Amino acid sequence: MGRLVLNSVSKKFNNFQALLNVNFEVADGEFVCLLGPSGCGKTTVLRLAAGLVAPDDGSICLDDKKINGVNKECGFVFQEYALFPWRTVKENIEFGPQVKGMTKTECESISKHYIDLVGLSGFENHYPKELSGGMKQRVGIARAYANNPKLLLMDEPFGALDAQTRNLMQGELLRIWETEHISVLFVTHSVDEAVYLADKVVVMSARPGKVKEIFDVKLTRPRIRTSMEANIIRDSVLKSLVTEIKMAANK
- Residue 98 pLDDT greater than 80, yes or no: yes
Number of domains in the chain: 2
Spatial separation of the C-alpha atoms in residues 32 and 186, rounded to whole Å: 6
Same domain for 175 and 243, yes or no, is: yes
pLDDT computed for residue 78 by the predictor: 83
Same domain for 193 and 244, yes or no, is: yes
CATH code for the domain in which residue 184 is found: 3.40.50.300
Same domain for 59 and 104, yes or no, is: no
* Residue span of the structural domain in which 87 resides: 83-148
Average pLDDT score, the chain: 94
pLDDT computed for residue 134 by the predictor: 92
Torsion over CA of 223, 232, 44 and 94, rounded to 10 degrees? 0
Among 124, 148, 172, identify where a domain stops.
148
Among 121, 148, 175, identify where a domain stops.
148
The pairing of beta strand 200-204 with beta strand 211-216: antiparallel
CA 126 to chain centroid, in Å, comes to 25
What is the band of 223 on the pLDDT scale with cuts at 50, 70, 90? Answer: very high
pLDDT computed for residue 126 by the predictor: 97
140 near 81, Cβ under 8 Å?
A: yes
Where do the H-state alpha helices sit in the chain?
42-49, 89-99, 104-117, 133-146, 163-180, 191-197, 228-249
User: How many CB atoms neighbour CB 111 within 10 A?
Assistant: 23
Cα separations in angstroms, 190 against 91, 164, 197: 32, 14, 11
pLDDT computed for residue 245 by the predictor: 85
**Rounded mean pLDDT, 226-251:** 90
- Residue 46 pLDDT greater than 90, yes or no: yes
Spatial separation of the C-alpha atoms in residues 149 and 177, rounded to whole Å: 12
Q: What's the chain's length in residues?
A: 251
Same domain for 94 and 64, yes or no, is: no
Same domain for 164 and 49, yes or no, is: yes
- Residue 247 pLDDT greater than 90, yes or no: no
Same domain for 167 and 143, yes or no, is: no
Same domain for 58 and 155, yes or no, is: yes
Domain presence at residue 78: no
Same domain for 195 and 109, yes or no, is: no
If phi > 0 it is left, if psi is from -120 to 50 it is alpha, else beta; for residue 24 that is beta
Sign of CA dihedral 156, 192, 194, 145: negative
Domain presence at residue 107: yes
pLDDT tens digits for range 17-39:
999 999 999 999 999 999 999 88
pLDDT computed for residue 80 by the predictor: 79
Same domain for 61 and 29, yes or no, is: yes
Give the predicted TM-score (pTM) of the model. Answer: 0.94
Same domain for 65 and 129, yes or no, is: no
pLDDT computed for residue 207 by the predictor: 84
Nearest CA-CA partner of 190 in 208, 220, 211, 169: 169
pLDDT computed for residue 184 by the predictor: 97
Same domain for 161 and 193, yes or no, is: yes
pLDDT tens digits for range 159-195:
888 999 999 999 999 999 999 989 999 999 999 999 9
Which residues are 13's β-sheet partners?
Answer: 16
**Rounded mean pLDDT, 62-86:** 91
pLDDT tens digits for range 112-155:
999 999 999 999 999 999 999 999 999 999 999 999 999 999 99
Nearest CA-CA partner of 95 in 35, 144, 161, 28: 144
Same domain for 58 and 157, yes or no, is: yes
pLDDT computed for residue 103 by the predictor: 95
Among 148, 176, 205, identify where a domain stops.
148
What is the band of 214 on the pLDDT scale with cuts at 50, 70, 90? Answer: very high
- Residue 81 pLDDT greater than 80, yes or no: no
